[in-house]
Amino acid sequence: MNQLKILSISVVIFVLTSIVGSSKTDAEKEDNIAAATGYGGGGGNGLVRTQFHEQGIQGPHSYRFGYDTADLYNPQSRYEERDGYGNVIGYYSYVDPYGKLQIVEYQAHPKFGFRAKGSFGVFPRGGH
């Protein structure tokens, strides 16, 4: 991911984390999330579900996809991309049973394998 995408994702995650953990009303949370993410209009809660998929951007085996449920009560999102060399990076997020936004970042490399980090720490522990 380029630096701008990482910065944008970080800002949205920070704002969403602040909103989910606050004592605001649901209507206030909806307004703040819509303002932070740029989602709006379309009735209902004002948020828009999004998803995308692209292939072949960096070669025949590369891809990029993502989605956001835009659900205030069960928010989930995921982003993943694979370059032409087989390197995969991505993240997914969800709200755990305690109401805390959990974000897991991961990467997979053809030679070095799979690694992930989140509130649980780093996986594999003591590896790579």
Give the DSSP letter string of 75-126: -EEEEEEE-TTS-EEEEEEEE-TTS-EEEEEEEEETTTEEEEEETTEEESTT
23: part of which helix (H) or strand (E)?
A: none
**Separation CA 74–CA 15 (nearest Å):** 16
Is pLDDT at 89 greater than 50 in this prediction?
A: yes
| Cis preceding-peptide flag for 124 (omega within 30 of 0) | yes
The predicted-structure confidence for 22-79, as pLDDT tens digits, reads as follows 445 555 555 555 544 444 434 456 678 888 899 998 888 999 999 999 888 888 999 9
Look at residue 48 in the predicted model and tell me its pLDDT.
Answer: 81
Q: How confident is the model at residue 85 (pLDDT cuts 50, 70, 90)?
A: very high
Q: Give yes or no for residue 15 having a pLDDT over 60.
A: no
pLDDT higher than 60, residue 11:
no
Is the pLDDT at 92 greater than 70? The verdict is yes
Distance CA 37, CA 4 (A): 15
Domain boundaries in the chain?
3-123
Q: What per-residue confidence (pLDDT) applies to 40?
A: 46
- Contact (CB, 8 A) for 102 and 118: yes
pLDDT score for 20: 44
How much is the pLDDT for 105? 95
Diameter over CA atoms, the chain: 49
